[in-house]
Amino acid sequence: MSNELPMMPAKRNHDGVEKESESRVSPFMPMFEVFRNELDEHHDRRERIIKASRDITAASKKIVRSLKNDIPSKIESETQERAAAMNKQFLSIAPDLTGINAWRYQRQISGGIQEYMEAISFETYLRQQTLITIEDARKTLPEGIDLTSDDYVLGIFDLVGELMRFAITTMATTGSLPRSKGSDGERDVLMDLRSLRTSFEALNTTSCGGTGLGKDVEKKMEVMKTCVEKVETAVYGMIIRGRERPKGWVPDLGNDRGAVESY
């Protein structure tokens, strides 16, 4: 309709006033060419990051699924391979996320980072029964990839879901909760879940009302509480009817598991 350049010479003219104007090129073209290049670069970066974030998410999920209490060497090496592949993904987008662009694409990368946080914190828990600190988590990421405290918190929320699965599966197969002996005495996973819950509940996020963190925290807080309560109910069930239960019985995890996985 209004492509200015390639048109037939005979064209509507406003009473001859604009005789030459139709054949002229917009004086703003050089400026828009610069804009076009900038925007193209931006979109390319954005797409690369979205793709990497998806791959990192998938790899993290696989790692989490294969992690168990005693990590057999075969799974161990598989996990390491996946971690190495993930590391490559991170490295490939590190140049896109340097300097000012670290926050520019935060929304695109944050899904992958949170999933990664979940995997790395679960692994740390299985090995050491501690919550990985943000500093230590940061150290596991390649140079140039930033871990924001928001992504850290949201990843740790998801850790609760993993610990629930871990607790319930272990109870089903061994008949007792996973326990650990630390320097500070003996604990079980339910105590750990409760201390996570207490810490989360103490976190005051009312100030982040309209922000992304505020909304996510609200959703994840509910899921997190449900997870802890499920383990509590399962422990109760184990104590009440523990010895009547046939071996290999698995408590019903219900539909909420889907919700846990998707967020």
Partner 1 sequence: MANPSMVDPKIFESLQTKIDEDAEAREQIRAILQTLERQGKTTQSVLSRVHSTPAAHLSPVISSAEKSIIDEIASVKSLAEIASKSPYYKYNGMWSRDVQNVIFAILFCGWLGGMGTSDAGKLLTIEEVGKVLDVPVNLKDQDAFHISIEEYLQALITLIEELARLAINSVTLGDYQQPLQISQFVKDLHAGFQILNLKNDSLRRRSDSIKYNVKKIEDIVYDLSLRNLIPKAEAPSS
Residue 130 carries which side chain, given as an amino acid letter?
T
Judged by beta carbon, residue 15 or residue 143, the one nearer partner 1 is 15
By CB under 8 A, name the one of 199, 215, 229, 242 that touches partner 1. 199
Shortest distance in whole angstroms from residue 246 CB to partner 1: 32
Q: How far apart are CA 238 and CA 245, in angstroms?
A: 8
- Of 70, 143, 149, 255, the one binding partner 1 (CB under 8 A) is 149
Indicate the SS3 state at residue 242. Answer: helix
DSSP helix, strand, coil percent of the chain (3-state; round to 5): 70, 5, 25
Provide the token pair at 42.
Answer: 């931006």
Question: What distance lies between CA 183 and its chain's CA centroid?
Answer: 31
Does 169 contact partner 1 by CB under 8 A?
no
Residue 10 or 28 with smaller CB distance to partner 1: 28
Strands (E) located in the chain: 179-182, 185-188
**Min CB(181)–partner 1 separation in Å:** 10
From 72, 95, 175, 182, residue interacting with partner 1 (rule: CB under 8 A): 182
Phi and psi angles of residue 9, each rounded to the nearest 5 degrees, phi first: -65, -35
Residue located via tokens 């679960």: 122
Does 213 contact partner 1 by CB under 8 A?
Answer: yes
Q: Which of 73, 207, 255, 262 binds partner 1 (CB under 8 A)?
A: 207
Q: Is 7 in the site for partner 1 (CB under 8 A)?
A: no
Q: Please report how close the Cβ of residue 76 comes to partner 1 at its closest, in angstroms.
A: 22
Binding mask 14-43 for partner 1 (x = CB under 8 A): xxxxx--x---xxxxx-xxx-xx-xxx--x
CB distance 96 to 130 below 8 Å: no
